[in-house]
Structure 1
Amino acid sequence: MVLYPELLEGVLPRGINMPPDVSQERTVKAWDMSDPSICQSEEWRDDMCAKAVAVGSGGYTDLDSQEVVVRLISFDDPTTADAMFEGEGTVGEVGQNPPGDEIDGYEAMSPADGWGGRGFNVRQGAVIAKVEYGWAEDSEVSDRLMDITKMVVERIRQAQSGDNPTASLR
């Protein structure tokens, strides 16, 4: 099932689906591709934006020391998403039996802001997700990146199967 904006927005977790200490929602929204610059502003490559049918983004924070950003891009079919996906995660990056059809890990740091973090790019069917978990470098926070990524992948699977996306970390 192709996830157009209305369905893609439902895939994005709401604050109630996130761990309690990062449940403060920022913008949670999906857009069609009538304005491709929105896709580009969500940090997707130009070639991806040219083929996408919808993009979505959600942010979650504790307003102090940690934040999670989930970005989604939806294509007409899994073949297109597969062609657009770059990277291949190693067991050291993504563990045994990681979620999704394809997954790749990366470091996400903003030294100027004093924040560190990690992220996963993951493809499930015709949707690619970027899930980033960041924290203030002097903070002690529990790293939930893989748990959040698994939840996002499950929400994508549910929507692609025609079910309501209900996967949650609560």
Structure 2
Amino acid sequence: MGFLDSLMNSLRLPKKEAMFRLNRKGITHTIGYLFILLALLFLPDMVATIVHMETNLTEISRGRYVVQFLVFYPLLIIFIILVGISLLAAASLLLRRVLSRKLIYQQLWKLSAYAVTLPLILSVVLKYMEVPDRYSALLFLIIFGFFMYKMIIVYPKVPAKA
């Protein structure tokens, strides 16, 4: 039930109550949520790749290919998403500094991880609608930036130094 709860709250972002519920979840839960979300989003691609595998492969090389694909493809996706979320959280850290709010990187990392849910789902849908990648990426960044701005301004300002 934890994944569905996180998914529902992620889709309700940038609402304050959803944001605070998600921020209470641990980092291991957040990483597990990302893994399940990405597995579900990229499952059609994985199945299509295996189904449309080259027919000139021998049975041994075909089996090896499937095993390597099922092991390394998810690991590559997870690595890319963890690095990507870390970069997005770093950009959010700059936004936090500009808005002078009380937030630390760990909070921004978690918020970024949940804030990418809707843009990721939308990007996958746009991919199947054959929308060019640059438009999909631009829409992803706009939605993510809007969500992070709305979530960051909820937190209190840093007190002015006297």
Name the TM-score, length of structure 1 as normaliser: 0.31
Q: Which has the higher contact order (CA 8 A, sep 6+)?
A: 2
Name the TM-score, length of structure 2 as normaliser: 0.32
| Higher helix proportion | 2
